[in-house]
């Protein structure tokens, strides 16, 4: 057999195993690093069937988040507003605008507008909006400066590590109850924010769970 295969061929199987192991580890590393919400979701800003401008409505006009997202204080979900909410204003404002053709048609037919979901949690993740906004966590912390977005985009990764940053140090993210829906609110300084947060954490008994069962149910 030694006359058929050269001596160096004895090391070929080992080399093949090493190469496959390196390639496998590289592939796992790439998937682990890049196939995460930070890269697959952040910046996602789909074109909606109706061009609803949050910058105009929530920013220039100052419409409170709760006017459209009515259940955010009482429910796990914040809900997408029904067309009737839009028509509360648009039965008097821009009643003939071509841009609102689908809104009027939806209102008349009762069929929902096929909005494209921007923020989406996996089915195995439990998240309750009401728990957060009723304990000092603003919409801003998760959704960003929505009142300056012409097209709403996915601002943060919503990864497990990102959520745990807040659960481990909630004092860095709490704000006064009256400022929860104020997208423009800013503390005087980071130190003032922390001191305020520590006080709120104590007074409101904010103790975010760190166990797996808190979010994975």
For 158-195, how does the pLDDT look when each residue is reduced to its tens digit (9 = 90+)? 989 999 999 999 999 999 999 999 999 999 999 999 99
Where are the domains positioned within the chain? Answer: 7-35, 72-79+119-214
What local confidence, expressed as pLDDT, does residue 181 receive? 96
> 105-152, pLDDT tens digit by residue?
999 999 999 999 999 888 899 999 999 999 999 999 999 999 999 999
Note whether 174 and 151 are within 8 A (CB): no
For residues 26 and 37, give the distance between their C-alpha atoms in angstroms, rounded to a whole number: 20
**CA distances, 165 to each of 161, 170, 194 (Å):** 6, 8, 14
For residues 186 and 179, give the distance between their C-alpha atoms in angstroms, rounded to a whole number: 9
Torsion angle of alpha carbons 170, 171, 177, 183, nearest 10°?
-80
H helix and E strand count, the chain = 10, 0
The pTM of this model reads 0.79
| pLDDT at residue 203 is higher than 70 | yes
Sign of the Cα torsion 181, 183, 185, 187 reads: positive
Phi/psi for 143 (5° steps) reads -105, -5
For residues 194 and 169, give the distance between their C-alpha atoms in angstroms, rounded to a whole number: 10
Note whether 135 and 175 are within 8 A (CB): no
What local confidence, expressed as pLDDT, does residue 212 receive? 93
């Amino acid at each position: 057999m030694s006359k058929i295969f050269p001596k160096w061929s004895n090391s070929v199987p080992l080399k093949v195993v090493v190469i496959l192991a390196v390639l496998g580890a590289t592939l796992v590393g790439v998937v682990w690093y890049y196939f995460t919400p930070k890269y697959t979701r952040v910046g996602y800003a789909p074109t909606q069937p109706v061009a609803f401008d949050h910058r105009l409505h929530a920013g220039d006009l100052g419409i409170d988040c709760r006017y459209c997202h009515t259940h955010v204080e009482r429910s796990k979900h914040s809900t997408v507003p029904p067309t009737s909410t839009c028509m509360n204003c648009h039965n008097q404002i821009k009643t003939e605008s071509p841009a609102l053709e689908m809104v009027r048609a939806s209102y008349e037919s009762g069929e929902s507008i096929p909005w494209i979901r921007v923020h989406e949690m996996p089915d195995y993740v439990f998240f309750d909006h009401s728990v957060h906004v009723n304990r000092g966590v603003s919409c801003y912390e998760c959704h960003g400066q929505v009142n300056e977005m012409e097209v709403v985009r996915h601002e943060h990764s919503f990864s497990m590590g990102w959520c745990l940053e807040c659960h481990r140090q909630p004092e860095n993210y709490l704000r006064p109850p009256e400022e929860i829906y104020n997208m423009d609110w800013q503390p005087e300084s980071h130190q003032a924010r922390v001191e305020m947060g520590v006080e709120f954490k104590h007074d409101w008994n904010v103790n975010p769970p760190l166990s797996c069962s808190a979010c994975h149910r």
